[in-house]
Amino acid sequence: MAEYILEMRNINKVFPGAKVLTDAGLAVKKGEIMGLIGENGAGKSTLLKILTGLYQKTSGTILFKGREVNFTSIDEAAKNGIAMMHQELNIFPNLTVAENMFLNRNEHLNKLGLIDRKKVLAHAQSVIDELEVELDADTMGSRLSVHEQQIVEIAKAMSMNAELIIMDEPTAALPENEVETFFNFIRKLNKNGITIIYVSHKMAEIEKICDRVTILRNGTDVDVVEVRNTPINEMINKMVGRELDDYYVHTPTVNKEVLLEVENFSGEGFENIHFKLMKSEVLGIYGLAGSGTLELAETLFGCRKPRSGRVVLDGKKVTIRSVPKAVKNKIAYVPLNRKREGFVKDTSIYENISMVGAADHRKGPRVDWKANKEIAQQFMEKLQIKAVDMYQDVNLLSGGNQQKVVLSKWLSIHPKVLIMNEPTRGVDVGAKAEIYGLIDELVKTQDLGILLISSEAPEVLGMTDRILIMNKGREVVTMRTQDLSMDSLLKYASGGEVEQ
């Protein structure tokens, strides 16, 4: 039997008023890439925080390299060979790579007790060279790409002789074209004997990079599966505790009626964009970092002013130079950053859902708040928003339920065009499946069209009828989704020549 580098057995964790882990387990073989999946609230973060000393377990046993451990801080865990690479990278822009790697570490001191910068630089460079990457240890943090920042975090762990590295959503901020480069780097680490725990909501990544997967549900481990023998849908079903049909549920539209036509549309970050959106269609807009997809979406919604172009909605030319004008024309926008732009913090679910459409429901000159409450309740039930009631603070909801509140707000105005910018970013797999189902239901049952902007290639390939591909602010091509593969999508988005 393979040697287990880590065994967490019967881990329980009780917070005041809530038990979040019940006999949870995690057993990782030395030298493997172990996936860890579960819906938000399943206990992944709590389990890993216990492992790295941020939380103390209520009961249970942790064995690392065969020795029982109970770390009391993340520093203690790191000194013993367990490193955590957080989703939010902690690189200081005003420090060099070497300084970031050895920050707050009393190593390489001279006789006066001061840091010997030459030794720090040499040590940092030697670790980076062992990783076989091209990066100078004296490069400033401000000049690093996201991928390079990740390398620095890993190099820091390696400089402390890490044997087990925990990666929490490591590709969340990576452009799609850098993900495979990062995976190759992970495989290289793995071949050099580093064990990895890989946490992600992106099932395509789990399938591609992991050897085995531990599945958590409701605070306990429900199964451990071999990735090569287990379809994604089976993993998802175990994770959510119910049967989900196909993950990407969209079926192509047959509607030929044009809803939105955009011609020669130019603005900050994009030039001469042309496209048509049909009624009941999901049109994907895909591009790598810097492609202009965000700027295009915000300009269509009136957040930015266009420089030129023509927009025709339902056969009528419209000029949209402000958000109120867009809303008046029944254009809705689910933004990229829901916490900053999608909902109002410290307010209730009901207040957020009613925020845009409240004035449409009146009793005489006054807003009919009773009607608005009924509408909010209807959306809570329809979208299955998990909350105590409609008066619960939206801050207290999971990411998936917050996104459903944002969707409800815009659906309450009965939009003609719904622009969705990264609608499933940061939500768990179960919530993703529900949002995909909602997208498909909306275009089938209502005369609206959806512009789906996503940096997740599997998402746009699985949930759209056609895809507009952008590169450096310009349209590369618009094609039927069924005529595109993952390779061709990434090729065109990278500026590759379109095959005729």
Residue carrying the six token digits 């993900």 = 179
12-64 pLDDT tens trace: 999 887 889 999 999 999 999 999 998 877 899 899 999 999 999 999 999 99
- Of 339, 442, 323, nearest to 383 by C-alpha is 442
* Mean pLDDT of the 123-146 span: 90
Residue carrying the six token digits 């065969």 = 66
CB-CB neighbours of 303 under 10 Å: 17
The whole-angstrom separation of Cα 98 and Cα 90 is 14
Highest mean pLDDT among 177-181, 188-192, 279-283, 429-433: 279-283
pLDDT of residue 454: 92
Average pLDDT, the chain: 89
225-239 pLDDT tens trace: 999 999 988 898 888
* Mean pLDDT of the 407-413 span: 90
**pLDDT level of residue 304 (50, 70, 90 thresholds):** very high
142-174 pLDDT tens trace: 999 888 898 898 898 888 889 999 998 888 777
Tokens of 409: 């707000």
Instruction: State yes or no: pLDDT of 447 exceeds 60.
Output: yes
The whole-angstrom separation of Cα 281 and Cα 277 is 7
pLDDT of residue 32: 96
423-433 pLDDT tens trace: 988 787 888 88
pLDDT of residue 367: 65
In order of start, what are the domains of the chain with their CATH numbers? 4-91+144-240 (3.40.50.300), 258-493 (3.40.50.300)
Highest mean pLDDT among 24-33, 242-251, 389-398: 24-33
Q: How much is the pTM?
A: 0.72
Instruction: State yes or no: pLDDT of 10 exceeds 70.
Output: yes
Instruction: State yes or no: pLDDT of 391 exceeds 50.
Output: yes
**pLDDT level of residue 1 (50, 70, 90 thresholds):** very low
CA distance readout (Å), 53 to 91, 406, 440: 22, 36, 43
pLDDT of residue 362: 61
Residue carrying the six token digits 């074209």 = 177
